[in-house]
Amino acid sequence: MVSKLRSMGFVSTLCLMVYLSMFFDNGYAQDSTRLVPAIITFGDSVVDVGNNDYLPSTIFKANYPPYGRDFANKSPTGRFCNGKLATDFTAETLGFTTYPPAYLSPQASGKNLLIGTNFASAGSGYYDQTAINSHVISLSQQLQYYKEYQRKLVQVAGNAKAASIIKDALYIVSFGASDFVQNYYVNPLLNGAYTPDQFSSFLVSIFTNFIKNLHGLGARRIGATSLPPTGCLPAAITLFGLGNNGCVSRLNTDAQGFNKKINAAATQLKKQFPDLKLAIFDIYKPLLDVVQSPSKYGTDATILLSSPYITACITLFSALLLSPRSVVKYIFLDTGFFEARRGCCGTGTVETTVYLCNPRSPGTCSNATQYIFWDSVHPSEATNQVLADALILEGISLIG
């Protein structure tokens, strides 16, 4: 069974689980359960948990079936997925029993604000015009909401505790895909004025200023996502693939170029601000791996944590002693993925939001766990689990 999994990633995930188990057993977690006091999220549709439900002018909403059909309550939540997002899995791994609420929702009030909040808005981007085009919450507005959140947090928690939460919270930033797929590639004025490389530099300059603003407002632990392999999104293949069914190489090349620039910018920011913990979460490689080799991801497995995994963990964590909870049950997907070209919803080639991915969509699959994509743009819950594993491993430095 284990041979179907990437050995290093598998061992790392097991080791992380042991590490977190030890962390909890020894009483180091804040508030007895959480590794960070709060999670504060900025971004687009891959991390939006329902803010767009409260925007009257946008069509970019996921507040109707079949979105949310595999979530705990079997109902739409505003998430652009059949179930959980990668950030939901991350919150659970970090010890959260409830998810930080969408900032525009009624739940974002009172003591609920103590665990953070989510400002993300589907269709948004680093470039404010990307959001304006879709009538959603721009990066600039998300930052203004964050300042408002800080004031509300002081009212709930008092100055000292609010400052501690702001400083120790985990900040997640996920933008960029909409800037390219929903703006640059379909806007002749924009792609006529900028080459892909120039547009990437433009976006990364906005990212740099945004991180500086967050740091100035007290943030110290920030994780930002790379671009995914945008050329492998089913909608991108349909629109830009010229009739071919494979990933669109030029789009993936653009994404790789952007990712190099944002990593370089992060390196410079950490030099400029020594007290800043900043990580770029690589979602390009894990998603590309799943798309290129879908069948190798998945099997049912109950793993007894024994040699050689104990040895690997000891090496990775400098001979940390295992707690009595040395049996780890880690459930993978039932049979692995088999569909990478199309999403589960409808035909899966162009559908997203109200455009064809809706209760009347013909052809929607019955088992989304076997699909890499839920609709033509967004990963399924099963894929989000894979991405979350990669995200949390790369983010260990942020929570130490």
Under DSSP, the state recorded for 114 is G
191 falls within a domain: yes
Domain range spanning residue 50? 31-297+378-394
- Distance between CA atoms of residues 171 and 185, nearest Å: 29
4 falls within a domain: no
Q: For residues 389 and 13, is the Cβ–Cβ distance under 8 A? A: yes
200 falls within a domain: yes
178, with CB counted inside 10 A (0-12, 13-18, 19+), is: buried
For residue 15, what are the CA distances in angstroms to 1, 11, 12, 18, 359?
A: 18, 6, 5, 5, 41
**Residue of 45, 121, 200, 361 with catalytic role:** 45
137 falls within a domain: yes
Q: For residues 153 and 138, is the Cβ–Cβ distance under 8 A? A: no
For residue 260, what are the CA distances in angstroms to 253, 284, 337?
A: 11, 11, 29
Digitized pLDDT (tens) for each residue of the chain, 400 residues in all: 333 434 444 444 445 554 554 444 433 334 557 999 999 999 999 999 999 999 999 999 999 999 999 999 999 999 999 999 999 999 999 999 999 999 999 999 999 999 999 999 999 999 999 999 999 999 999 999 999 999 999 999 999 999 999 999 999 999 999 999 999 999 999 999 999 999 999 999 999 999 999 999 999 999 999 999 999 999 999 999 988 889 999 999 999 999 999 999 999 999 999 999 999 999 999 999 999 988 777 533 333 333 333 333 433 343 333 333 333 333 333 456 777 788 999 876 664 555 568 888 888 999 999 999 999 999 999 999 999 998 888 888 898 7
| CATH assignment of the domain containing 390 | 3.40.50.1110
- Distance between CA atoms of residues 225 and 274, nearest Å: 21
378 is catalytic: yes
**Residue of 200, 226, 378, 389 with catalytic role:** 378
133 falls within a domain: yes
Q: Indicate the SS3 state at residue 222.
A: strand
CA-closest candidate to residue 340, choices 364, 374, 366, 316? 374
- Distance between CA atoms of residues 124 and 146, nearest Å: 16
- Distance between CA atoms of residues 240 and 324, nearest Å: 53
371 falls within a domain: no
CA 324 and chain centroid, separation: 32
**Residue of 44, 88, 375, 389 with catalytic role:** 375
- Distance between CA atoms of residues 5 and 14, nearest Å: 12
Do the bridges between strand 39-43 and strand 170-174 make them parallel or antiparallel, or are there none, so unpaired?
parallel
- Distance between CA atoms of residues 4 and 310, nearest Å: 20
Q: For residues 123 and 134, is the Cβ–Cβ distance under 8 A? A: yes
CA angle at residue 120 from 200 to 53, to 5 degrees? 130
What is the C-alpha radius of gyration for the chain, rounded to an integer number of angstroms? 20
CA-closest candidate to residue 245, choices 104, 341, 380? 341
> DSSP states of 313-361 as a string?
HHHHTTSPPPPS--EEE----SS---B-SS-SSTTSSS-BTTBT-STT-
The number of domains in the chain is: 1
pTM of the predicted model as reported, rounded to 2 decimal places: 0.86
- Distance between CA atoms of residues 8 and 206, nearest Å: 35
- Distance between CA atoms of residues 159 and 252, nearest Å: 46
Cis bond upstream, residue 294 (ω within 30): no
252 falls within a domain: yes
- CA dihedral sign, ordered 228, 207, 150, 395: positive
